[in-house]
Structures are given as C-alpha cells and as structure tokens.
A and B are shown apart, each in its own frame.
Chain A
Amino acid sequence: MTDTAASEVCAAIRGATAVHVVGAGTHDEIGGRVDARTEVRAASGIVRFEPADMTVRVRAGTPVRELEAALAERGQECVLDPRSPDATVGGVLATGLSGWRRLRHGPVRDVVLEVRFATGDGRVVRGGGPTVKNVTGYDIPRLMVGSMGTLGVLLDVTLRTRPLAEATAWAAVYGTVDEVPAALYRPSCVASDGGATHVLLEGDARDVDEQQRAAGLRVSDPPRLPEGRHRGRASVAPGNVPALRARLREIPVRWLAEVGVGTVHVGADRPEDLASARAAAERLGGWMLREHGAPDLDPFGIALPNAGIMARIKAALDPDGRLNPDRLPLNPASEAA
C-alpha cells in the first residue's frame, strides 16, 4: 500500500515532543486529558475486503459507519459496535471499549488479526498476521487494543468479519434478571435497567422467534443507554452485578447492566452521584471508567494493575513518552514497583 500517510505520521511523531493521536473525537473524553499541540491521525479507507476469507484490511482513520456499509454489501459485518458510528476503527480499538454484543461475540480485542502502527520513535511496525488463525510471535494486536494511543499510532488493521445474521431482533420482559435466562441459547445481549430486561437475539428467523416465545419475550425497541451529563462504565465480575444494582438503587443515577458480562453503564446528573456509583463498583472489586462529563473525576479511579510491567512496555515502545502523554496514568516511578 502507499505509505504517504505512514511516513507523514512518523515524521510528525519525530518532529514533536508530544503528539495527540486523534480520530473522529468521539472517544476523546476517555482517559486522561492529552495536552499536546501536534495532532496525528491515520488515513481512511478500506484497503482490501476478502469476503471469502472473512477478513478486511482497513485504515485506522476509517469511520465505522463506512466500514459497516461496505461489509454489509457482501452480507458481512465486523463486531465493533461503537456507541457512535462516527467513531473511527482506530478509535474503537485504541480505547478497547466493547459494544452491545459482547456476551455472544466476545470483546472487541478478539476481532483484530493484524496491526500496523507507528511507534513512539517514529518507526512503522507490524504485529499479528492477516489470517483468521495465527500464533506467530507475540500477540501485538491484543497489546494495542485498549492501549489508548500510548504505544503506537494505529495505521491500518486487519479484522475478522462474520456473516450477518438472517434475523436480528430486540425483545423485552418486564422486570430484572440476574442471570442469562436458561431458555436462551447464547443470546447476543441481555441488558437490564431495573424496569425491563432487553434481549438481543440473532440467527435463523424461526429460531429467533421460538427463543422469544420460550423466554416469554415481546418484541421491543433496543434498550437506551442511560442519559446524563456525567456518564461512566462500571466493570465488575458478572456475579457481582446484582449486588452493584442493589447499591445503585440507593444513588440517584440511571443504569443499564449487561447481564452475563459485568459491564454496567451509569448516567448521573451530578458528578458526585457518578462518584458514588464508582465507589459502589470499587467496593465490589470492580472499577468505573469515566466516559463523559465529571471533569474533576479521575478517568479510571483505580491505579493500573501491574503498573510496573505496563510502564516498562510503555518505555519500550515509546521511549521518549511522546504518544498521548497523560492518557494513561503511567508514572515512570511505578517501574520500580
């Protein structure tokens, strides 16, 4: 492929003391604020889509909306499911935030087969491989997913695609469930907001219909993510979701729990209520990512686990600390930890 964009990104990195890696800006509130005047962004566009291999190579700056449209033309999709379809592929992967259908399709890190990125010292490197199965060398693609642009600037990636289901339908029951209902075989999402439980089923149209009837579900709209000027994403062991829900009832927040996954989306009108929800998640051994608003709240709330290893990885890939400084709380002092 032409490497104009790659060499421009590398030149920008080498010419700056700090760079801000940007995509569509839909995730810019995730993580610590980056104070850097130089912005770098990856190019956009699909490099190669091989429907018969179920893989697509795409530039990191491509909007997910555009990728989805191209895949759908050939009856396929890639399970990225960002909150906003304006998000770029690189932005979704860099933040590593999984979407609605994690219960069935797994986390977003599982769709990435190969990555090409610019390192902090301005080199273009590649990790992983273009095939659907590969264990050649270390798993650099998974390292990059969720690294928040602090280890490299994603240039292009090869992703696993899958066939679009014949039928996709949301349905709901009143009330809250604590476990994935036994009548359902591997639903794509079970989301509970305290008033109703919404279930996403995908597959053969008759199977979807039969499953809905077996579980007493009625066709519904999709659930709504909780609104609020201050929003967060709590992450607890799936078994702790009922306990977290009970605690959230005591706090003036709105929430939506992904049953069986352990992700609980929280919306609040006041930052202190979001902070209380975070404290509840932390008391259960989990944590909460600040996603929106609450500027005085720490982005993560907890220290990075295994911060010493992470600091060494950061130093190895970005020795001068140029990439997205302060996005992750990687204190060089923690290397000694």
Chain B
Amino acid sequence: MNAPTECSGLRRYDRAIDAIDALLAELQRGLGSDRARAEPLELALYDRDAGTARGQAVAVCFPRSTTEVAHAVRSAARFDVPFVVRGSGTGLAGGATPVGDPLVIVMTQMNRIRSVDAERCVAWVEPGVLNLDLSREIAHLGLHYAPDPSSQQACTIGGNVGTNAGGPHCLADGVTSAHVLAVEVVLGDGSVTTLGGLEPDLPGYDLRGCFVGSEGTMGIATAIAVRLTPDPPAVRTMLLAFRTISAAAAAVSAIIGAGMLPAALEMMDARITAAVEDFIGAGFPRDAGAVLLAEVDGLPNGVDAAVRAIEVLGRDHGAYLVRVAADGQERALLWKGRKSAFGAVARLAPDYYLHDAVVPRTKLVEVLEQVDTIAQAQSLAVMNVFHAGDGNLHPLLLFDAREPGIWERVYAAGDAIARTCIAAGGVLSGEHGIGLEKRDLMPLMFDPDDLDIQARLRDAFDPSGRANPAKVLPSGSRCGDLQRIPAGAWI
C-alpha cells in the first residue's frame, strides 16, 4: 500500500553530512563495508514497515552477531543517533518506521536456531529466525512453536517478541509472552544482558515480561529462549457456515460461554470467504454469510466431546452446515484459506487498511454491527476476518489510495472503530502493537498518570531515549517532549 505522503521524522536533526559519514565509517569498521550502508535507494527500502507511515533513516546495518549489534548501538550512541530495530518489516503499526533520523538495525541476518532441547521443550533462537521455519525445524520432534501470526511465513521471532504477537492458535495457550522464557538483549547503552532465564523464577521484577511487546523501545533482542509445545495427539478442524455474521458471533459467544476453550476459533465474513475461494479454493461455502473455523485438540475423548458440543451449539445458533475436516490435507487447506485471507483481499482493491482491536467476547455481535455502520458512513467496503474466540477483531477497510480525500475517510473510520471498541470495554490492539499508528489513541485507554508510569518504565530501561523514539507513547506522556505527528500515522 502506498503511504499518502512522506514523513520526514519527528526530531529533525540538522546533522552535518560528515557526521553521518563518520557514523557509517564506524559501523563499517565493526560490520564490514557491505553490511552498513547509507545509499538513498538502500535507505528507501527501510523507510517503513507494512503499515502506512513512512520515515527516513540515516543509515542501515545488518549485524550477524550480538557483538555486532552492540557495536551498532554503541556507534549510534557515540554520534547521538537514535536506533530502530526491525525484522522482516511485516508489522502493521509503524513500529519499525524510522522516526527521528535514526540508524535502522536489521536483524534478519541473525537467523540461526542456536539449540533445541526437545526433552525440556525449549529452543534458543536468534531474532531473525522466521516463525514458521522454527516450527518446521522442530516438527520431527513432535513439537511446535505455538504463536502463529498469519504472516508466519515471513515474520521473525524477534519481531514477534517486539510486538508480543498472537495468531489463531493463541486462544488456548496465550500470545508470545507466554512462550518466551528468556531474552538476551542489547540495551540502549550497548551493554548486553539476559532478561529472564530457563529457571522457572528469578528474584526481582519480571524484566523479561516488560521487554516482550516493548516494540524496540527497551533494547534489541539478540537471542530468545522460546517454550516449545508438544503436538497434540488428536486435532479436529471444523467448518461451520452461518447465514449471518451476527449468528456466527452469537455461536462464538455460546461456545465460550459453555465453558469451552478450543485451540482456535476464527471467523470470516462472506466477502472474505468469496475472495479466498477465488484465490485458492479452500472449500469454503460461497453462500454463507459467515464461516467459523473451530479447531479442538488434545486427547481423543475430550476432542470428540468438544466436536460434538460445538456442532450442537453451532446448529442451535443457526449453522446450516457443519463439516469436520476428514484428514490432515483438508485441515491444512482450511487453514491455508484462513491465512491467505489478506493475500486474497489484495486482489480486490488496490489498498486496504487492516485494523486490530479486541472487545469482550460477549460484545462481538453489537460491535461488528457498529463497525459495519461506521464503514457505511464513510462509504468504505469492510471485510471481517478475525480471531473470534478471543474477541480480537480485524476489520479490513478496502479503498483506492488514488481517490482524492480517501485517506481522511479511512482514518476517520479507523478512529471510530477504535473508539467503538474501547467504549465496549475493549482495547486498542490485540496483537499488532501500538507503534506510530495508534500512539496518539493511547489516551482513549489510559489516564495521564497511567501513561506517565509507562513512560517511566521505558526510561528505566533506556535512559538514553535512543531506542526507537516516538513510538508507543504519545507526546506529553512525560514532561518536556513535544512531537509532531508524522503524516501517515492516522489521527
């Protein structure tokens, strides 16, 4: 998607060209000339993530070791340049957008799995390891890595740690933080330390817990100990088709309300299922108003009982078709359909804006209706594909960025959706993070005192303030910072 205008950064340093040259020379001294660069074309590749906001870096580097990351951070400190860490750049909230004329540190070349201990279900991985690659590497051991974002073929474990990423299968077992035991990090001053550990507890504060989801503002993860999950002996994936999205949402509420916690509970509306069918032919019914994918796993008797209970509750709430995947192949196809949704949508409109918010599961029906009304008011097409089981909505707004005035309408709808979710007792983000995109919406959820505590926590980790500045917290969260909102960050 094309961002509307260019963002020149928040704290424009009037830095002399030779200062940047000196930074580059220092980086090249530590990393070699091929892995520290500042050509305009190279910098343009790293001026944004998969979100809408565009920034500007002064240099970009590609470390291959913890030592090289520390060197890069110390170099940035020496020349008083901020630094922004990024993985594959699949983030949607602008967390990796370079703001404040920073050095961009790209972690994709640190992509080794350092060790796997199958007996204790733990692996040490470098941050550039792709999420799906990890699960593929350990599949023969009967293990997998549970958080599975839809972008798992492309996103890195380090990026997952940065955003505390989720995925369809986080319903029963929790998002990234519940699967990270320890993180080796380079702090803002270039020192290296380990937060958390393989031992179950450490005395003092849970710094590991603070770091996960801190979006690069507390330092850079250079190695991560992740908890691996045993593959379940039995898995059943069900497709339930409903006439309306409200009926499907009511079925979700009923399933959770009946005291069941499936492994995944995903919903797609008619537009999405049609797009997916045109794209890959996953076997979704074209006449359904909404399709629910439910997966249950565990031991066979419990799985059978859950499948029967979900079928009964589904039919009670208007499911006119309930199909259980007959084999692994059909199951894989259903999931491929779900995870291809965003690719399928890209064929329908030149641009889309993907929202991320969570509401209590009991409010799904009313919030989905309000989202529809909001999109209609802005004459935007909206599609819904989301993690229904935990109330994590992902409305997609479709548009053509060439249409005059379109961005204002998209931002207005995005803003209204966020406000609607908060009013329903929800939160701003379930798994994408705050970044730049939702930074200035934070006061919708938090009082000034709440934000002040968050700013103080961040400063305690990074007193230098050089780690990914201007992200997560709005200006004014602490005394003395006034920041301009970059174009492309909505609101």
Contacts and interface: CB of A to CB of B under 8 A. Distances in A.
Indicate, yes or no, whether A interacts with B: yes
Contacts of B55: none
Contact of A143 (B117, B174, B210, B449): B210
Contacts of A139: 164, 177, 209-210, 212-214
B332 interface: no
Interface stretch (B16-24, B58-66, B439-447): B439-447
A183 B296 CA distance: 20
18 contacts: A52-B253, A106-B178, A110-B174, A129-B358, A129-B445, A132-B361, A137-B434, A140-B454, A146-B201, A204-B299, A204-B305, A207-B298, A207-B299, A305-B194, A305-B204, A309-B461, A312-B463, A316-B459
Contacts of A210: 299, 301
Contacts of A8: none
Which of A102, A129, A132, A262 has the most C-beta atoms of chain B within 10 angstroms of its own C-beta? A132
Interface stretch (A33-41, A119-127, A220-228): A119-127
A132 B391 contact: yes
A106 B227 CA distance: 11
A283 interface: no
Contacts of B348: none
Given A142-B209, A235-B200, A125 B449 contact: yes
Contacts of B461: 309, 312
A236 B199 contact: yes
Contacts of B457: 138, 140, 143, 313, 316-317
A176 B197 CA distance: 25
A174 interface: no
Contacts of B454: 127, 137-138, 140
B456 interface: yes
Contact of A286 (B199, B361, B425): B199
Interface in A93-138: 96-98, 102, 106-107, 109-110, 119, 123-127, 129-138
Interface string A271-307: 0000000000000011101000000000010101111
Interface stretch (B256-264, B266-274, B281-289): B256-264
Contacts of A110: 174, 177-178
Interface in A235-275: 235-239, 258, 260-263
B119 interface: yes
A316 B455 CA distance: 9
Nearest to A260: B120
A203 to B, nearest CB: 5
B452 to A, nearest CB: 8
Contact of A126 (B213, B428, B446): B446
A50 interface: yes
Interface in B191-241: 193-195, 197-207, 209-210, 212-214, 230, 232-233
Contacts of A102: 200
Chain A: interface size category: 35 or more
Contact of B453 (A127, A163, A207): A127
A134 B450 contact: no
Contacts of B175: 133, 135
Contacts of A316: 453, 456-457, 459-460
B256 A52 contact: yes
B252 to A, nearest CB: 10
A26 interface: no
Given A207-B298, A237-B120, 14 more contacts: A98-B200, A125-B447, A127-B453, A131-B430, A138-B458, A139-B210, A146-B204, A163-B261, A206-B301, A262-B198, A287-B199, A312-B460, A315-B460, A316-B459
Interface residues of B, number: 85
Contacts of A136: 427-429, 434, 438, 442, 445
Contact of A262 (B170, B199, B204): B199
Contacts, number: 251
Contact of A186 (B230, B360, B442, B463): B230
Contacts of A119: 449, 453
Given A185-B232, A211-B299, A316-B460, A50 B199 contact: no
Contact of A53 (B166, B232, B256): B256
Which of A205, A261, A300, A313 has the most C-beta atoms of chain B within 10 angstroms of its own C-beta? A313
Contact of A162 (B164, B261, B298, B302): B261
Contacts of B197: 237, 305
A55 B164 contact: no
| Dominant SS among interface residues on chain A | loop
Interface of A: 50-55, 75-76, 96-98, 102, 106-107, 109-110, 119, 123-127, 129-140, 142-143, 145-147, 151, 162-164, 166, 179, 185-186, 203-207, 210-211, 233, 235-239, 258, 260-263, 285-287, 289, 300, 302, 304-307, 309-310, 312-313, 315-317, 328, 330
Given A131-B358, A185-B299, A210-B299, A310 B207 contact: yes
Contacts of A137: 434, 442, 445-446, 451, 454, 472-473
B45 to A, nearest CB: 27
B119 A239 contact: yes
Contacts of B430: 131, 133-135
B392 A310 contact: no
A207 B380 CA distance: 50
A296 B260 CA distance: 49
Which of B178, B214, B359, B361 has the most C-beta atoms of chain A within 10 angstroms of its own C-beta? B361
Contact of B256 (A54, A127, A186): A54
A239 B120 CA distance: 7
A82 to B, nearest CB: 15
Nearest to A119: B453
Nearest to A121: B449
A246 to B, nearest CB: 17
Given A127-B454, A142-B206, A313-B205, A306 B193 contact: yes
Contacts of A289: 201, 203
Query: Shortest 4 CB-CB distances between A and B: which pairs?
Result: A142-B209, A204-B302, A316-B456, A52-B257
B390 interface: yes
Contacts of B298: 185-186, 203, 207
Which of A130, A139, A146, A237 has the most C-beta atoms of chain B within 10 angstroms of its own C-beta? A139
A151 B450 CA distance: 14
A145 to B, nearest CB: 6
B54 interface: no
B432 interface: yes
Interface in B75-132: 117, 119-121
